[in-house]
Amino acid sequence: MLYAVAHVRGGGELGREWYEQGRLLTKRNTFTDFVAAADHLIAEGYATPERLVAEGGSAGGLLMGAVANLAPDRFAGILASVPFVDPLTSILDPSLPLTVIEWDEWGNPLADPEVYAYMKSYSPYENVAEHPYPRILAMTSLNDTRVLYVEPAKWVARLREVGAPVLLKTEMSAGHGGVSGRYSAWRERAFELAWILDVLGYDS
């Protein structure tokens, strides 16, 4: 097993300009960066599409949803934790606790039609299509106040409409950071890793 971390634009690893190229009306760069990282691993012989699983959470869960639509053939599985997969609906609601402060990162679709159209063009929920998807595990929490559980729930429902092999796991007493307590957190992570191993064909 190999574990690779993709530093996509939107992070600060390569400086301020790199960060600026991954937000607002250049948000799509974060998705294509991730696909490019997968392509590099495949080209260099570290992985094959049949033996590659992607993982991300929260805004990284949006990345997972976008990649599932953009390049489903690159991955055997996609693990999306508390995924922000219906961003347009949430960012249009200023009554939610994070919406207004997040306009600096995503733009304000209430005030700018260009932002609205751009967000709609990459929103995972809005762009589910009738094509083969990799196996998908969506993890959410009933008491998550940052990414409401309804986002992954409706995304999963939409994926199931097009026949995607998707599993939804909802923690009933957890928040955005997952379950509380060391052993509970280990148990949750063990579930995720067991799913990854199953996707990759490790059955013993």
pLDDT bracket for residue 174 (50, 70, 90): low
For the stretch 21-34, pLDDT in tens is: 999 999 999 999 99
- What does 67-136 look like in DSSP terms, one character per residue? HHHH-GGG-SEEEEES----HHHHHT-TTSTTHHHHHHHH--TTT-HHHHHHHHHH-TTTT--SS---EE
What is residue 180's predicted lDDT score, i.e. its pLDDT?
63
Task: Provide the number of structural domains found in the chain.
Answer: 1
Share of the chain above pLDDT 70, in %: 94
CATH of the domain at 147: 3.40.50.1820
Residue 27 lies in a domain: no
Residue 65 lies in a domain: yes
Residue 174 lies in a domain: yes
Residue 78 lies in a domain: yes
The residues that are catalytic are 58, 144, 176
Predicted confidence (pLDDT) at residue 59 exceeds the cutoff of 70? yes
Better pLDDT: 115 or 140: 115
Full residue range of the structural domain in which residue 98 is found = 48-199
Predicted confidence (pLDDT) at residue 179 exceeds the cutoff of 80? no
